[in-house]
Amino acid sequence: MAAKPIIKVVAICGSLRKASSNRGLLRSAIELSESIEGMSIEYVDISPLPMLNTDLEVDGKYPPVVEDFRRKILQSDCFLFASPEYNYSVTAPLKNALDWASRPPNVWANKPAAIVSSGGGFGGGRSQYHLRQIGVFLDLHFINKPEFVVNAFQPPPKFNNVGDLIDLATKLRLKDVLLSLKAFTLRLQQQEDSGA
């Protein structure tokens, strides 16, 4: 009996802060993925990436840290973005990572993705809308449902003081996102394999 394929998910957080609730969502997603057969999530840190500067591209090569990042993106099956909202948009570090991996050849292209976010007010929802808009040009395919935003400051407490997700209902919602991402990824892979 052939082994079932493992969906390789790269998780990227738009916040660089260690105690970020958005990073906490990704830590929780990694834990939750252990109970989902056929899914593996790797957190990829974007903080080492230099700011996009095409002067750093020499003889068709990118700086080693960028090459490593691009390789991880290329080798993944899909993406899980934790996107906090800064000024109604995505963060500068996340936009920078998106830009580096979109340099020719675009390694984001034709892959599924999901977005989760946490914050005040709308819970980062406006950053999700902007990320989806960016994804159109990058040829990313975002799941539409379930949407996942968390108002981190409304009771009951959702996160502890180091950013870990502690609310069971929110964890269950997050698991639903992972299951949807897995199903969508498998569906797109099957369509690609069948030539559809």
Tell me what percent of the residues of the chain surpass a pLDDT of 70.
97
Query: What is the C-alpha to C-alpha distance for residues 134 and 81, in angstroms, rounded to an integer?
Result: 13
CB atoms within 10 A of CB 61: 10
pLDDT tier at 192, thresholds 50, 70, 90: confident
Model pLDDT for residues 101-141, shown as the tens digit of each residue? 999 999 999 999 999 999 988 889 999 999 999 999 999 99
Strands 39-43, 140-142: pairing kind? unpaired
pTM for the whole structure = 0.95
Residues facing 116 on adjacent strands? 82
DSSP 147-172: --EEETTSSSP-B-TTS-B--HHHHH
Interval 147-178: pLDDT, tens? 999 999 999 999 999 999 999 999 999 999 99
Q: Is 180 left (phi over 0), alpha (psi -120 to 50) or beta?
A: alpha
Tokens representing residue 77 in the block: 């099956």
| 128, 116 Cβ separation under 8 angstroms | no
